[in-house]
Amino acid sequence: MPIKLPDASYENSKQTVVNTLSIFGIRGFPINPFELAKRMGIVPKAYSTFPTQVKELMLKTSEDGFSTGLDNGKWDIFYNDEGCDATRINYTIAHELGHIIVDHHTTSEVAEAEANFFGAYLLVPIPLVHVLGLTETVEIQSVFNVGFQVARNSLNRYNKWLTCNEKAYLSYEIQLLQHFGYHQESRQPKKTSLVS
């Protein structure tokens, strides 16, 4: 069972996602984690581009993907591109970007939980689910180009978000909505059209 992070960790991750999207000028959705990586100076490398022996070692490290910090302060991301659909690969890249942006240097359950949350929130920011009026897993999958698990977890987060005591958006949520061209300060449901 995945560990639950302190509420402050989730809030910090959300603010970090918003800051990241803003700093690197990612304005359209679905979010393309490859584009974000490129803007960060990282070129994700597919396992299939390596010789068989190296690929086998990579698969032992992770069946999905991993990131490594280099001595020069830069990072590499490696991902499994064989037998994985595009939504899984996108989530893997988003997850690894979470490790890099949050500045994880060791592997731990907490680091994995933070990267999982970061990757999911990067791909499916909950305030966008709200302003778009999305209420079904399949709608989230379609609009944000994510797999079933990420969409379902995001819908669960959205439903929990709806029941919190806040009547207005938090400052980072307003920042996120404005970044994507929405100007709404109330959490009152308002279905709007998609921004291209």
Per-residue pLDDT of 139-164, as tens digits, reads: 999 999 999 999 999 999 999 998 88
Tokens 């490398």 locate to 45
> Which residue type sits at 53?
Q
23 C-beta neighbours (distance < 10 Å), count: 11
- pLDDT value of residue 168: 76
Tokens 């980072």 locate to 172
Domains of the chain by residue range: 7-179
Residue ranges with strand state E in the chain: 45-46, 65-69, 75-79
pLDDT band at residue 13 under the 50/70/90 scheme: very high
Q: Once rounded to an integer, what is the mean pLDDT over residues 92-119?
A: 89
C-alpha distances (whole Å) from 27 to each of 35, 137, 195 are 11, 23, 9
